[in-house]
Structure formats: structure tokens, C-alpha cells
Structure 1
């Protein structure tokens, strides 16, 4: 199972997620390093986890503001060439995702392939837009939920035939909750589509939770708080 460290960006800084209540997010305080600089924190997280994938949520972009270009560019430049960047920047259509990746990677074809768009159901307004987005190479779908309800204008949660190979069970209430991984959610996704690679997010308390997620069939898990609090040992 792949351990994927998470960077939540807001106003140019790394912030700590709190049950999806973005008004409560504050600059991170981490055992890994001082400060909340995105490039520095990304490097520390990747090194600590020996990660080959880093998940970045640009919360300014998700909340319909402009992407945080300076933070994203410095973060991407700091990553080793062996690390992929899964980027959720509130993409509502395929053209926007392609434009953001093109600006970040420029003409570097290898770098373009390392930036993988994550499409959150909270940002996809229609099935037609979703179809174009999920047809992009390597696209990842985030099935967003809050308070037991799907955030899903396009109705993708109940259309597994539309899902790509990689899907994230993104229950926002679980972010920073330390309640234990949602293993039932992983089992449900696996039952809905054969051959799916389901990823979980949030509520990892310790290494034993990662073992349980692996045993439940998760392809990977997105983790932040347990890393910053020193509850997951270095790889």
C-alpha cells in the first residue's frame, strides 16, 4: 500500500486540515520542520515517507480563487524527479486542468507527466465535463463527502462505470479527525467496481491503522496530521 503525504495550501502556506472546515485551517505546526513553507514542508514529507507521490490540495483554487502559482511552482521545483504530484486545484473542466499543468511544467514533457490532475466531485458540475476530465491520462477521481452527504453535482458517486482506475474516498469529516481509517468505505468502493484502486484519506492515528488499511484492500492512503505529529515513524 502506498503512503501518500498531503500538503494543504492556503494563502501561500501549508495549513492543518480540520474536518473539512476550511475557515478553521491555520498554518501548520509540524514535528518535521519549523514554519509552513510549502517547498520545505513538501521535501520533508517526501523524505520522511520515502514517498513517490505527494498529494497537494490548493484550497484557494478549490474555493474558486486563483491557483497559488508561486507556492505551487516552488513546491514542484523542490520535489525529486522520482516523485509524482497529485494536484487538486478545484478543476471544473479538462481545459482548466491542462492549462494549469502546462503553466506549472512549461515545455518539459517529463515534468508534465509527473503532475497528475485530481478531480474532486465537489468541483465537477456535469457528467459531460466529468467525462472529459476523467479521460485525461492518469486522472484521479476524488469522491467527496461531508456530514454523510455526497458533494457531487454531477452524480458520479452512483456511477462507478464512469470512474477511472484510481479513486479517492475523500470524506472531509475524516480530515484531521484521528478517528481511524474508514475501512468500510474502501470495502464499498471495491464492491462497486472490479479492478478499482481505491485510496483512503484522513484519520490515520498510527502505523497500525496503515496496516489495517492495507489489509482492507486500500491501494494507498493520504496522510498529514499523523506525520506532522510524529506518530508515523520514518520509512
Structure 2
């Protein structure tokens, strides 16, 4: 923790020089598209009943392709993270919206959490070359799917933390050997809050992850947060609010090398 505090302090005060930053591997910024009823909605701390169609200067509507193109107006993002909230809650998946994203002129790589919890659906998703299925811990009853597919290079695990703590089988936290190559640390209480990433939890998960890629989700505010995450060895960050409100500008994104 002393290392984390001193590193964060250095970033905030500007005492970490540009040379030391550029020597590090750039952290990927992956824009988030939360889908509900076929539209992009603005997430608010995991309280899904409060999610409403997004209002953003990047797009004239909440249409998924319009918002994706607006985000690409900031930076040519090659990857988007999709939370299909209808599917996660047991409703009808937003397959039409995904198909429209796939049909874009430069189709993005899609990381999709659609509440997958069975082998047949997961196998079908893994067969799609443009789709990287995200298995949310909140959707799993046990660790059977991870024991079966954990070595697949396209599988992504999301460790989901709500206000009341971790949701999912306890073995996901106790047995990191179950984890695939990419692990998202999803702190939903911080999503849309602009309160900063959950550095303490991220540091703890990174210590367990070994050589796996750890992805931060929730609370990323600005360039200083991105650089601080990189200093911890975090591979990527899922970001929405700071892109839509202009805190992360095209200049920042170009400098960060995302």
C-alpha cells in the first residue's frame, strides 16, 4: 500500500516524469456501451432500474451505432465493451444491436457480457471471431463453465462487486487458477460515479493474477487515473463517463497511446 500511495502522489503532483511514463506499456482504454431496450443507457453505480437512454455531446441519439461512431470521433477505438443488461437480467438479448456494430465500416472487436451461464451459449459465442464473451461472476451458479473453458484465449472473466460485496461463487476469488487470461475487476458501485478506481481491490486482484491481464472497470475519471492504473500493471480500463463528459479528450487519448 505504501508503494501505491507514493505512486499516486507522484502522479498527482507531477513528479513522475514523461520519460518514466513512456517507458511503460500503454494502458488500453476500452469504451463501454451499456445496452437496454436496444439503446445505449448511462450506468449509475450498478442501480440498473435507474439507467436511462444516454444523453451525450458525442451523439444526437442513444442509438448504439451513433454512440459508437461518436466515441470513435474522439479516438479510433478498435474494441468496445458491451453490457447487455436485458440479457444479464434474463430478458431478450440485444442481438440486433450487436449485429449493427458488427456491420460498421470498421467492425470493432466486441467484449460482451450477456449473462451467459450455460455451455451451449458460451461455445456458440466463442465460435464467433469478432466476439469475446465476458462471463460475469454474478451470472454464475458454480465454477463449471470456467473449469471447462478457462484455457480458451478468447474467454474473459468479470469479477463483479456490488455495494453488498462480491457476487458469484466464492471459488472465483479463492481459486485464481480458475481465471482465464483476461480478468475484469468490475466495481459497480463506482460505475458512473467519477469517484476514482478501486485501487485497493485492483492491487489485491493483480497480486493474485500472476501473468494474467487485469482490466479495471468503474470510476476512471481522468488522465491521472489512467497513469496510476498503468503504474500498478493494469492492462486496460473500461471507460464511459469520462469520455462522454469530455474529461478524457482526444489529446489525452492520443498521448496515452490507447
- Which of the numbers 113, 116, 130 marks the counterpart of 2:132? 116
Moved more, 188-197 or 113-122: 188-197
Equivalent residue number for residue 164 of structure 1: 180
Equivalent residue number for residue 224 of structure 1: 240
> How many residues are treated as equivalent by the alignment?
225
Equivalent residue number for residue 55 of structure 2: 29
> Separation in 2 of the partners of 1:49 and 1:175?
21
Equivalent residue number for residue 92 of structure 1: 117
Q: 1:2 to 1:76 in 2, by over 3 A?
A: same
- Secondary structure of residue in 1 paired with 2:86: helix
Alignment of 1:194-213 (within 5 A): 194-213=210-229
Shift of 1:100: 4.9
> Separation in 2 of the partners of 1:45 and 1:133?
32
Equivalent residue number for residue 137 of structure 1: 153
Unpaired stretches in structure 2, ≥5 consecutive residues:
1-26, 254-258
Q: 1:168 to 1:99 in 2, by over 3 A?
A: same
Query: RMSD of the alignment, in Å?
Result: 1.7
- Secondary structure of residue in 2 paired with 1:214: helix
> Separation in 1 of the partners of 2:38 and 2:143?
32
Equivalent residue number for residue 3 of structure 1: 29
> Separation in 1 of the partners of 2:209 and 2:244?
34
Shift of 1:44: 2.1
- Secondary structure of residue in 2 paired with 1:36: coil
Q: 1:46 to 1:94 in 2, by over 3 A?
A: farther
What's the TM-score once normalised by structure 2's chain length? 0.82
What's the TM-score once normalised by structure 1's chain length? 0.90
The answer (yes or no) to whether the contact 1:16–1:27 under 8 Å persists in 2 is yes
Q: 1:217 to 1:67 in 2, by over 3 A?
A: same
Shift of 1:101: 6.2
Moved more, 13-22 or 128-137: 128-137
- Secondary structure of residue in 1 paired with 2:148: helix
Q: 1:40 to 1:133 in 2, by over 3 A?
A: farther
Q: 1:8 to 1:71 in 2, by over 3 A?
A: same
The answer (yes or no) to whether the contact 1:119–1:133 under 8 Å persists in 2 is no
The answer (yes or no) to whether the contact 1:19–1:177 under 8 Å persists in 2 is yes
Which is greater in Rg? 2
- Which of the numbers 141, 144, 157 marks the counterpart of 1:128? 144
